[in-house]
Amino acid sequence: MKFKSGFGYPLIFLILISTLVRGFLAFTLEFNNDEVYYWTYALYPDWSHFDHPPMVGLVIQLFSGNLYFDSEFFIRLGSVVFGAVNTWLVFLIGRRIKDELTGWYAALLYTASLYCFIIAGVFILPDTPQVFFWLLSLYLLIRLLPDKELTTKNRGYLLLAGLTIGLAMLSKYTSVFLWVGALAFMLFYNRKWFRTKELYLSILISFVVFLPVIYWNIHNQFISFTYQSERVGVAKALLRPDFFGTELLGQFFYNNPVNFILIVVTLIVVAKKRLTLETSYVRVLLWMSLPSVILFLTFSWFRSTLPHWTGPAYLSLILLAASYLGSCSSRKNILFPRWIIASLGFLFLVIVLGYGQINHGWFNPDKKHAGDAQQMGDDDISLDLYGWKQMGHKFQKIAESDHFFNRMKPGAVLISYRWFPAANLDYYAARPAGLKMFAVGNLERIHKYYWINQSRGGLKQGMDAYFITTSHDYKDPVLLYKENFDTILPSDTIAIFRGGKKAMNAFVFRMKNLKNMPEYN
């Protein structure tokens, strides 16, 4: 790759440093609830899954050697690697639409985004492969859509885009917005594409790539499509400004407040037609971003939504902001303008404070429950990523002691009531102790564990089972399973320490002799 303006070494340095930081975080942080759940996608691969398409599981399998290397780092390795490649792709797109300065600023703004750097670049989520294939698709669409002449080369790009969009859809359903944006651009600005067979072949390629998801849903009563549609469906006409505010503030924070403000300023400049960027590129980038952002902001007036759903849409807005930043820089070769310094400074602050809180407990956000054994740490969200490894190690000793003294029957299992903490307990407690993990509850609560339960042979009458709950998310097993077991008795309390202080408790219960089979759905 040739650089014309001296940005080659800075870009390489940026990719190297950001990769090392993300690799360190991937190595030293425990899984959050979502990540460890997606580990089960690799543990029990399928054509698709209850919540999402299969790509995130395939990525985990690829980078962990099909779970041969079964640590947090290797399970997250795909995120770390894709994050490095994505930074390079963002640079290439920025250079394509304008110049290398725009590409450099785009790479910096991408790096400063909490969504791009942490959610899709450290954590292993469906967003990890989605962002990678989204950027590949955007790169191809940027090269072909503005062209008025339908050359053999850009027709080939269109067919390749059909593949990458299909792979993005195989990562996350919201990737369909790539086709929404592309077709809308063609409809309004370049209708010649509708007279080419390559367009329909490209759409067909995306459909064929997505077929495994359709196949799985056909054999499972379209449960995944139904579940996702219910998450965004407008059930009531009652407006919820609190939901809208949460969504807007989430987008503001996830995309970095400095980036967000810069994007708003850029959109105002675009509306006034003062952005020094070729109009066709502006149109493509807007169609690849605004439909998703506007749609989910609209949905948020009626029901709760999650801010990271619009994360990929902001990639195009970052590129527009980079173009604006490049045009208003006092010196055309300045590497770090004030906007960039402020943006990277915010990212650094969040990483330092977040890491310190998660692994060392610098702050105590839950003082009101500090003296309550069953609610200690209840309001501390940082405990989602801490204490599982410590708890699992101590539980393993309890299970070994119970086995040695015959306190539990051979073949005793571990039971939970919801997909999380079932997946956390599966990875950090059941797996090291050599126990099978089952989630017992309705499908809305246990998700993929409905199928995992069957793969593991299901529960059998007469079984003994452990139940583990933490003070961070306490649930009384007696209220859940008193009709199903002869006796349910507390066994041990595991103290979880962080920074030399107790952060929460984990409570282990022994449930003896399963007599009535709990319903899975």
Residues 312 and 208 in one domain: yes
Q: Which pLDDT belongs to residue 373?
A: 85
Domain-embedded: residue 369: no
- Kindly state the average pLDDT of the residues 407-414: 94
Where is the domain boundary, 355, 373, 406? 355
Residues 330 and 461 in one domain: no
Domain-embedded: residue 443: yes
- Kindly state the average pLDDT of the residues 30-42: 97
Query: Which domain does 441 fall in, by range?
Result: 381-514
Cα–Cα distance between 507 and 425 in angstroms, integer? 12
Residues 253 and 337 in one domain: yes
- Kindly state the average pLDDT of the residues 371-393: 91
In 3D space, the residue among 88, 79, 75, 206 whose CA is nearest the CA of residue 130 turns out to be 79
Residues 345 and 406 in one domain: no
Domain-embedded: residue 521: no
Residues 50 and 161 in one domain: yes
Residues 318 and 183 in one domain: yes
Q: Is the pLDDT of residue 521 over 60?
A: no
Instruction: Show the tokens assigned to 312.
Output: 């990929």
Residues 350 and 390 in one domain: no
Separation in Å, CA 115 to CA 255, 271, 351, 486: 6, 26, 12, 48
Q: Is the pLDDT of residue 43 over 80?
A: yes
Segment 121-146, tens digit of pLDDT? 999 999 999 999 999 999 999 999 88
Tokens 């639409």: give the residue. 97
Q: Which pLDDT belongs to residue 151?
A: 85
Q: Which pLDDT belongs to residue 310?
A: 94
Domain-embedded: residue 164: yes
Q: Is the pLDDT of residue 444 over 80?
A: yes
Cα–Cα distance between 145 and 506 in angstroms, integer? 56
Long-range contacts of 218-224 (CB under 8 A, 24+ apart): 223/50, 223/443, 224/48, 224/49, 224/50, 224/51, 224/52
Least confident window among 13-22, 232-241, 368-377: 232-241
Where is the domain boundary, 355, 370, 397? 355
Helix axes 152-169, 197-218, angle to 10 degrees: 10
Tokens 């069953």: give the residue. 374
Confidence grade of residue 233 (pLDDT, cut at 50, 70, 90):
low
Q: Could you give the percent of the chain with pLDDT greater than 70? A: 95
Q: Which helix (H) or strand (E) holds 339?
A: helix 338-360
Q: Which pLDDT belongs to residue 331?
A: 57
State the maximum Cα–Cα separation within the chain, in Å, rounded to a whole number.
Answer: 79
**Beta strands at 413-416 and 437-439: parallel, antiparallel or unpaired:** parallel
Q: Is the pLDDT of residue 365 over 90?
A: no
Q: Which pLDDT belongs to residue 1?
A: 46
Q: Which pLDDT belongs to residue 138?
A: 98
Q: Which pLDDT belongs to residue 5?
A: 66
Asked if 462 and 440 touch (Cβ cutoff 8 Å), the reply is no
Residues 348 and 387 in one domain: no
Confidence grade of residue 236 (pLDDT, cut at 50, 70, 90):
low
Segment 82-97, tens digit of pLDDT? 999 999 999 999 999 9
Burial of 62 (0-12, 13-18, 19+ CB in 10 A): middle
Q: Which pLDDT belongs to residue 231?
A: 66
Encoded amino acid at 350, one letter: V
Residues 160 and 259 in one domain: yes
Residues 405 and 340 in one domain: no
Segment 422-442, tens digit of pLDDT? 999 999 999 999 999 999 988
Domain-embedded: residue 202: yes
Cα–Cα distance between 78 and 74 in angstroms, integer? 8
Domain-embedded: residue 212: yes
Domain-embedded: residue 368: no
* Residue 195 β-bridge partners: none
Asked if 416 and 467 touch (Cβ cutoff 8 Å), the reply is yes
Number of structural domains, the chain? 2
Residues 108 and 165 in one domain: yes
- Alpha helices, H only, 46-145: 55-63, 72-97, 100-112, 114, 127-144
Cα–Cα distance between 159 and 197 in angstroms, integer? 10
Q: Which pLDDT belongs to residue 114?
A: 97
- Kindly state the average pLDDT of the residues 282-297: 95
- Kindly state the average pLDDT of the residues 241-248: 92
Least confident window among 223-237, 281-295, 313-327, 404-418: 223-237
Q: Which pLDDT belongs to residue 369?
A: 64
Domain-embedded: residue 360: no
Asked if 162 and 206 touch (Cβ cutoff 8 Å), the reply is yes
Segment 201-230, tens digit of pLDDT? 999 999 999 999 999 999 998 888 888 777
- pTM, whole model, 2 decimals? 0.94
More confident of the two residues 236 and 194 = 194
Cα–Cα distance between 65 and 69 in angstroms, integer? 6
Confidence grade of residue 70 (pLDDT, cut at 50, 70, 90):
very high
Instruction: Show the tokens assigned to 252.
Output: 């503001």
Residues 347 and 393 in one domain: no
Q: Which pLDDT belongs to residue 333?
A: 61
* Torsion sign, CA atoms 441, 444, 448, 454: positive
Q: Which pLDDT belongs to residue 348?
A: 97
Residue 496 backbone class (left: φ over 0; alpha: ψ -120 to 50; beta: rest): beta
Tell me what the pLDDT averaged over the chain comes to. 92
